[in-house]
Amino acid sequence: MADKNKKISPEQFTFVNMGERLTDVKFDDKPIGYFKDAWIRFRKNKASVAAACIILIIFIFSVVAPFLTNNENGFMDTYYAKKGPYVYGLNKDGFMDGGVDRDFSEPGIISKIAIGIGAEDWDAHGATLEEGMASIQQPLMEISDPFTILDASKKEKTYYHARINSYAEVGFLYKSIEQSELQRMQEWEKETGLHLLYPLVEENSYNVDPKDANNWYKTKKYQPVYINDKGKVKNVEYAPGMVLEDNYKRDAQGNPIYYEYTGGGTLETAGYKIRVLYSHYYIYKNGFEPRYYFGTDSQGYDLMLRLAGGLRLSLLLAVSVSVINFIIGAAYGAVEGFYGGWVDLLMERVSDILSGVPFIIVATLFQIHLAVKVGAIPCLLFAYILNGWIGIAYRVRTQFYRFKKQEFVLAARTLGARDARLIWKHIFPNSLGTIVTSTALIIPSVIFSESMLSYLGIVKLGSAKTTSLGTLLADASAIWTNYPHLMLLPALFISLLMISFNLFGNGLRDAFNPSLRNVED
């Protein structure tokens, strides 16, 4: 029988593959944190990452947009209302040129050409057609071959399909000013070299509409003027024998009159009537050239600024509602689910009562009775919070009922963990995936419902400095067929936000799901 106490010496052992590596795989035993693991899994969801990038870009646009334009928030110009994208000086480049396509009669096309000619005729020297067509103030950019249609009396009438600069189309305007303002205008002309004051027009039989400052040339009412049918702007010519003769007011010596006294006041405040080229008057009045990257809305506000303001309002409101409802719902549902019994029964009845109150009725009543006192936005925030947290509370309650009897919770309780630690350290993280997803999905629902309420006029968010995407849609609803950009741009931003936040929420759901932790795809 072998001796049990006998020791075996190390020399009796033989090592197999001594000094050789059995594998090249390196094992990393460093633990991965919960949030780091969630971030790794979120990055693998390409759709969610793309959605997050879109949301970030929209947010950056809403913040940076006011710095990209000279216009200030609340700046409005009624003469440039409902115009397309435009940057001063690009009216010949086909991009941001404020161009629109229209059909014009022969007198109508001549009236547009005359704006450019009149802009070059600031000293009444008799500007030529070539000068007018080459002017930066020329509204006509493209013109097609003429076509004829029959009117009600079966007579043929000639029309032209043309593309014009809708900003330059404003042309000339009459203004009533004081003498001190007139002196400042004259000094401004000398400093800048731009022509602001133009000769006044006679009110006679040649002037079809005395209130229209663009009627500077002689033409008799109902007697159209003609152009040839060359088709291109550069080839526009007068019909044989036709000349646009000016119809300016002149003094006894034949000099054009640029202003006339309208009465009242002192040497400083005496009233005068003047005729100005509006594009230069815009620069004089505001100190900068017109620049509208997205065009203007129905009232004349910079549409890019209005969109940026509406996005900031929608995002701020949606995120605030989401965070507040998350906090209330998480705390409420955790207490319900953890303690159960009569506590859960009592709190559930409160939830049932609040959930039975229709949101749209609450929002409407708040707007009617509280908006005057606290403002439209706080009232809308109260309406969203009144029962918006109930869904989150229900999901948290369900998750707590699911996990509170699990072994890891019982083990923690046995080791002396208090209720607060059990709730927030052990059970709540397991509910986080569902809760975060619900919270993220609140954001698009708030944006959509806020836009709907603004569109229907239940919530009044349209003012000089504040607006919403829904208000922009409501303003454009009656005119969008003629000005489609007023409807398309707000609708595009709402659609992007809705789709992106839904994809982003789905990515968060998968990333924060504890059952998928450390699971490779």
Least confident of 23-32, 307-316, 324-333, 383-392: 23-32
pLDDT in tens, 180-228: 899 999 999 999 999 999 999 998 888 878 899 998 988 654 444 555 5
Q: Specify if 220 maps to a domain.
A: yes
Q: Are 259 and 200 in contact (CB under 8 A)?
A: yes
End position of a domain, from candidates 210, 244, 277: 277
**Average pLDDT for 391-397:** 88
**Average pLDDT for 387-415:** 84
**Average pLDDT for 12-17:** 61
Q: Measured in whole angstroms, how far is the alpha carbon of residue 232 from the centre of its chain?
A: 36
**Average pLDDT for 83-112:** 82
Q: Are 514 and 403 in contact (CB under 8 A)?
A: no
Confidence of residue 22 (pLDDT cuts 50, 70, 90): low
Do 101 and 58 lie in a common domain? no
Do 383 and 263 lie in a common domain? no
Least confident of 13-22, 370-379, 438-447: 13-22
Phi, psi torsion values for 200, nearest 5 degrees: -70, 160
- Does residue 342 sit in helix, strand or coil? helix
Supply the pLDDT for residue 91.
58
- Does residue 440 sit in helix, strand or coil? helix
Task: Output the pTM of the full model.
Answer: 0.80
CATH of the domain at 477: 1.10.3720.10
Do 132 and 203 lie in a common domain? yes
Spatial distance between the Cα atoms of 471 and 457, rounded to a whole number of angstroms? 8
Do 379 and 235 lie in a common domain? no
Do 57 and 92 lie in a common domain? no
End position of a domain, from candidates 277, 310, 329: 277
Burial of 518 (0-12, 13-18, 19+ CB in 10 A): exposed
Task: Give the range of the structural domain holding residue 165, as residue numbers without chain letter.
Answer: 86-184+195-277
Q: Specify if 219 maps to a domain.
A: yes
- Kindly state the percentage of the chain with pLDDT values over 90: 26
Q: Specify if 20 maps to a domain.
A: no
Q: Specify if 499 maps to a domain.
A: yes
Residue 508, both tokens: 């968060």
Alpha-helical regions (H) of 404-468: 407-414, 419-421, 428-456
Q: Measured in whole angstroms, how far is the alpha carbon of residue 320 from the centre of its chain?
A: 20
In the predicted model, is pLDDT for residue 231 greater than 50?
no
Q: What total of structural domains would you count in the chain?
A: 2
Do 235 and 308 lie in a common domain? no
Spatial distance between the Cα atoms of 385 and 376, rounded to a whole number of angstroms? 15
End position of a domain, from candidates 233, 262, 277: 277
Q: Specify if 38 maps to a domain.
A: no
Task: Select the more confidently predicted residue: 165 or 340.
Answer: 165
Q: Are 487 and 473 in contact (CB under 8 A)?
A: yes
Confidence of residue 514 (pLDDT cuts 50, 70, 90): low
Q: Specify if 76 maps to a domain.
A: no
Do 233 and 327 lie in a common domain? no
Q: Specify if 34 maps to a domain.
A: no
Spatial distance between the Cα atoms of 318 and 207, rounded to a whole number of angstroms? 56
Do 328 and 357 lie in a common domain? yes
Task: Select the more confidently predicted residue: 296 or 145.
Answer: 296
Supply the pLDDT for residue 459.
82
Supply the pLDDT for residue 156.
79
Q: Specify if 33 maps to a domain.
A: no
In sequence order, the 6+-apart residues with CB closer than 8 A to the CB of 311 are 58, 59, 61, 62, 469, 493, 497
Do 270 and 351 lie in a common domain? no
In the predicted model, is pLDDT for residue 501 greater than 80?
yes
Neighbours of 23 (CB within 10 A): 6
Do 107 and 143 lie in a common domain? yes
Supply the pLDDT for residue 94.
67
Do 329 and 385 lie in a common domain? yes
Spatial distance between the Cα atoms of 330 and 312, rounded to a whole number of angstroms? 26
Q: Are 90 and 81 in contact (CB under 8 A)?
A: no
Spatial distance between the Cα atoms of 429 and 38, rounded to a whole number of angstroms? 12
Q: Are 299 and 312 in contact (CB under 8 A)?
A: no
Do 326 and 447 lie in a common domain? yes
Supply the pLDDT for residue 201.
93
